[in-house]
Chains A and B, each alone.
Chain A
């Protein structure tokens, strides 16, 4: 887990801080170096089919992917926690009705809903993360609901009521601190999920639009050009996979630590 944390931190720091120090911006076109090889004409990783610096583009794409993923995961956290907490705390029929809705949504082909939304409302970055967040909250809602439901009937909550604690104090003092770690662990597991979804959409041309770029777009462009410049596929692909593996490790590590 330490290695994973270090990797994610390194990728994030590089994506955020490094670009100003590079000789080329991510949209700058170097007409003299189309499909340049690595370490030629000042392009460390070479250039793509129109002469844009691959390193600069990969860092810019990573930044967009991470930003979209964090925002969408936060949307999922907010909706999921609120939905799950209300269902779990009130229980009974409220719970049953709310969870039926979640079950129903689970049965939908997620990605297609997002794609349909993109097609219908046009392609905007706001819609990308709203759309993703709105479908990724389901698992969060289930997890939080399960946790709240289990806590709700724990004797220490009852003992707190017997100790005269008002409902607000029980929620703040007992419920929230016990739900938060689990929600955060699942937030960490949601982020890589969202990274994949965003890249998937961008790959299909339905996500982030030019001149912005993201890892999915880069993989797509690289795939078109892989016979001549394989690095344009391999570099963004490797960054994406490394990011998702490391984020998954962190999330799983957190969850296991909680289970103990």
Chain B
């Protein structure tokens, strides 16, 4: 039985047409997934019929037979209450000043049911797998972990037993192991007959849980059908790009370029910083970390957030504090951060996570890329620098037309390409990739990743890659080091670590 059917849905915001003739349906107890890159209109398609997105919708959307399109706000309200909505970013989608219990109670009452007692509320939290549910009722959202918040978000969305659950990217703020747990939870809820409309950019992941999939691009459905069929035999380029952009650890890794002589050796690195407050004790961020990187070798430094991986990498690149330990470059000791020589600066260059914040908003693209050339290659005159900048822009597939632009005129992917060009300018032998693709949209991240693969092979670059996503890391890296609580707990060849993970932290990252 069809619970929710959308036909010829279009949406205009001002003069811009955002959605064109979208159609899909969700049946009782089943899950339909809308998949696409950011900006493809997948979230808009879910929210516009319910009046929860800007703009004017036309076409048809029927919830349990009742038409939504064309209704005004007071008429839409009771229909919204028949569905349940779980938004992405639960950290901001729950009201910060109300306790979990109050928000759950409000969700039930808004759905038309009498006010539930405390036991019933605790049972709702229990149903989504929250430990100690009774105590959590009096807690505020900020006290919960990211995974718990997402569970609470879902619990509030289904508190009034809606006939349809709309879940917008319920897993995108979570790391790999939690993603499966949340999707399993949604599968369980369906067993009571609830229909689920799922929005995601991760096609391989949702295809495991959804019955039907519609792939969106630029506001249109480009492909739809049974989930398994779409994943195994994608018909359009967009779908294939989406499959490729979310690499999976189940498929064999790519062939990587060969490695050479030892390049960088870090031995017993410690980083401690002063605690916050006057007499707070020192905080140890990294403790006794050792690793080596050879010419042309890529090492992935993985761990959950706060494990110290970024701090360690910055210490090694002499861009952050280092308290103790020894760092050698081709056997020679590297001096401290404040006594850096041009030689080492030239050899190691960073690329950061947030591409927009990586570029000074006042500087042109050409000036940013030329910055390392001015300081590290003083032998070049202005003309030679300009020629280098043009060549670098070509190398990162932007073209010299970008030279005079400013960061505000660049997309995220373009800005990250500029940051990569700047890192390559002085001809480094090792680049530090600090979560360099994780702030980007899924398709853009995929393209940046293949650019990095090409540069790795062309320039015989050594790479130190900081990441929380092992699948992304494997497409570049020979070896993997796993960090937890400031220590490297396990390291070795990538495939060996995948097949026989030793430490619990490694297994956690693998989601097993």
A residues at B contact (CB < 8 Å): 92-93, 96, 154-156, 158-166, 169, 173-174, 177-178
Contacts and interface: CB of A to CB of B under 8 A. Distances in A.
Contacts of A92: 274
**Interface class of chain A by DSSP:** helix
B29 interface: no
A162 B357 contact: no
B478 interface: no
Interface in B331-378: 340, 342, 345-346, 348-350, 352-354, 357-362, 368, 371-372, 374-376
B350 A159 contact: yes
Given A159-B419, A160-B371, A163-B426, A93 B361 contact: no
A162 B419 CA distance: 12
B375 A164 contact: yes
B203 interface: no
Contacts of A159: 350, 352, 358, 371, 419, 422-423
16 contacts: A92-B274, A93-B278, A96-B278, A156-B359, A159-B419, A161-B319, A162-B350, A163-B371, A163-B374, A163-B375, A163-B422, A163-B425, A164-B372, A165-B375, A169-B375, A178-B360
Given A162-B372, A163-B345, A154 B357 contact: yes
Contacts, number: 67
A155 B358 CA distance: 5
A173 B364 CA distance: 12
A93 B277 CA distance: 8
A168 to B, nearest CB: 12
A164 B358 contact: no
Contacts of B317: 162
Contact of B376 (A96, A163, A177): A163
Interface size grouping (class) on chain B: 20 to 34
A93 B419 CA distance: 33
Given A159-B352, A159-B422, A164 B376 contact: yes
A174 B362 CA distance: 8
A106 B131 CA distance: 45
A249 B408 CA distance: 26
Contacts of B340: 164
B97 to A, nearest CB: 24
Contacts of B423: 159
A12 B374 CA distance: 45
A113 B4 CA distance: 68
A164 B360 contact: no
Given A162-B319, A162-B372, A164-B376, A155 B278 contact: no
Determine which residue in A154, A162, A163, A169 has the highest number of CB atoms from chain B within 10 A of its CB, and name it: A162
Contacts of A162: 317, 319, 345, 348-350, 372
A159 B359 CA distance: 9
B388 to A, nearest CB: 13
A158 B319 contact: yes
Q: Considering the complex of A and B, which 6 residue pairs feature the smallest CB-CB distances, nearest first?
A: A164-B375, A163-B372, A155-B352, A155-B358, A164-B345, A163-B371
Contacts of B342: 164
Contacts of A96: 277-278
Contacts of A156: 357-360, 368
A158 B372 contact: no
A92 B274 CA distance: 8
A103 B357 CA distance: 30
Contacts of B277: 96
A242 B293 CA distance: 67
